[in-house]
Amino acid sequence: MMKRTAVCLIIIISLLIPSVFALELPEPVIIAKSDSAKYNSVAFDGTTVAWIEYGLNDDNTLSGSIKKFDINSGRQETVIADPSGKFSLEISGDRYVWSDQRGIFYYDDSSNLLTYLYSVNKQHSPVIDDNIIVWEEKTRNHSFLRMYDVSTGEYRDVVEESEPGHNYYLPAISGDRLVFIDKNTVTSEISLVFCNLTTKSLTDVSGMPFIYQPPAIDGDVVVWVGRYNDNYSIWMYNISSGEKRPVAPSDEYQMYPDICGNNIVWGCYGQSGQNVRDGGDIWLYDIAADVSKMISPDGENQDFPRASENYVVWTDRHGSAHDVYLFNIPGSSDIISYSGRNTGVHSSPTPFPTPDTKVRYYSKISEGKTEWYSLSPSEESDRISFEIRWKNSDDEISLSVVSPDNSIWHFSDEDDLKNDSAIRMTVSGINSGYYTKGEWTIAVTGDVISDSNSHYDICWY
């Protein structure tokens, strides 16, 4: 890496004209890589991904720490760490809930307040949305659902007058809408039930197979694993219209569904479920477009997808450990291109911030100054991504990139469609010859600096 300082930018920046082009699916990126097991412990809300990393205490008992990754900042942090076991993690904003397989814990990250929702019964499978927490509570012969309102401190049963023989499991919540599994020990029937928490009304949605999984809900739409032509398939139900149908019928086992807006995700595990033990592929279905596609790398061991906003995360197994991947769902904002002089080369906003695992260079710059960097990308690459971040939101810094064939790009904070004191852009569609002949040059310019200097960091990959 080479760096030098100049008083002004001496290259001539060409006028950049926006154009639109078709994008291939973006590559998922690793946001959490470690030797720790994570299992089905990934939670996702807004732009915060959270998970539990498991390890062993000195006495060989299982312990867990909760980690989070902020998509907007690209930073990973520890939320809470202690020797206790943690399972069934869920989040809503800054609020986290989990079970230690005896009781429910609620943690508010904004106030650093940990609350134990005590009961004499065993408590499992908590879910949270805003102020409402719901979980399973189990006696020796009965399983029922309890809820807690964070704003009022009120506890109550979800189904207040349950009929004999009904046991409730695996709740999922969206606003005042709840779905859960109802096992009738009298008739041996297993059903998916929708509950309006405001009116307390119950609606049977569907029968369930003998081996069932947690459902998911977002707004009007419920998704779950049901049977279709003797295969485990993802189904969806629209609460308002009453429509119920399989999402993307196939002859392969589909499991672990989740939903956010128009996006439904799940894992696919082969024609007879032979890949369930080793992991499968992650699929995405767009309800509005009525299109499904595989979004994970082929041949990997992936499980437990979660969707939020325009992102999907999942775990990837290797031995007893699990990495966490992040995928950006292409949308209209991702196909805006700012072209350089070479018509075969495009630039577009990078789908998400760069994880802190990438090498960064730290510096500071004053107004009117330019700092220079050079790099030689790998010959195998077909794109280069750049990210520069600065601390003071009042400052304006620009990034200029020159390729070996003298194509020029000039980027400001506005060009990546997010005004967040950062520039994240990807140059793609480049002929491999550009990578093998010469170096790329990067210029960082302090356009408007409110203090004597502005601290920034930069990386490329």
Report residue 351 as tokens: 């789908």
Percent of the chain beyond pLDDT 70?
A: 79
* Span 37-63, average pLDDT: 81
Q: How far apart are CA 293 and CA 312, in angstroms?
A: 13
Average pLDDT score over the chain: 81
248-258 pLDDT per residue, tens? 988 888 999 99
Report the pLDDT value the prediction gives residue 99, as an integer from 0 to 100: 94
* Span 218-245, average pLDDT: 92
* Span 10-19, average pLDDT: 29
pLDDT confidence of 371, banded at 50, 70, 90?
Answer: confident
Q: Which domains does the chain have, with CATH numbers?
A: 2-22+334-460 (2.60.120.380), 29-332 (2.120.10.30)
pLDDT tops 60 at residue 428: yes
pLDDT tops 60 at residue 8: no
430-456 pLDDT per residue, tens? 544 334 356 778 889 899 999 889 999
Check: CB of residue 403 under 8 Å from CB of residue 345: yes
Amino acid of residue 265:
V
Matching residue, tokens 């096992």: 183
Report the pLDDT value the prediction gives residue 419, as an integer from 0 to 100: 81
Strands ordered across the beta sheet of 202-207: 166-174, 177-184, 190-196, 202-207
Phi, psi of 335 (to 5 degrees): -110, 20
pLDDT confidence of 351, banded at 50, 70, 90?
Answer: low
Lowest mean pLDDT among 70-74, 157-161, 237-241, 313-317: 70-74
Q: How far apart are CA 199 and CA 232, in angstroms?
A: 33
pLDDT confidence of 460, banded at 50, 70, 90?
Answer: confident
Entry pTM: 0.69
Amino acid of residue 31:
I
* Span 63-91, average pLDDT: 87
Report the pLDDT value the prediction gives residue 413, as an integer from 0 to 100: 84
Check: CB of residue 439 under 8 Å from CB of residue 375: yes
Report the pLDDT value the prediction gives residue 320, as an integer from 0 to 100: 67
* Span 91-103, average pLDDT: 95
Query: In 23-165, where does DSSP find H-type helix?
Result: none
More confident residue, 283 or 30: 283
Query: In 75-211, where does DSSP find H-type helix?
Result: none
Report the pLDDT value the prediction gives residue 11, as an integer from 0 to 100: 32
First to last CA, the chain: 13
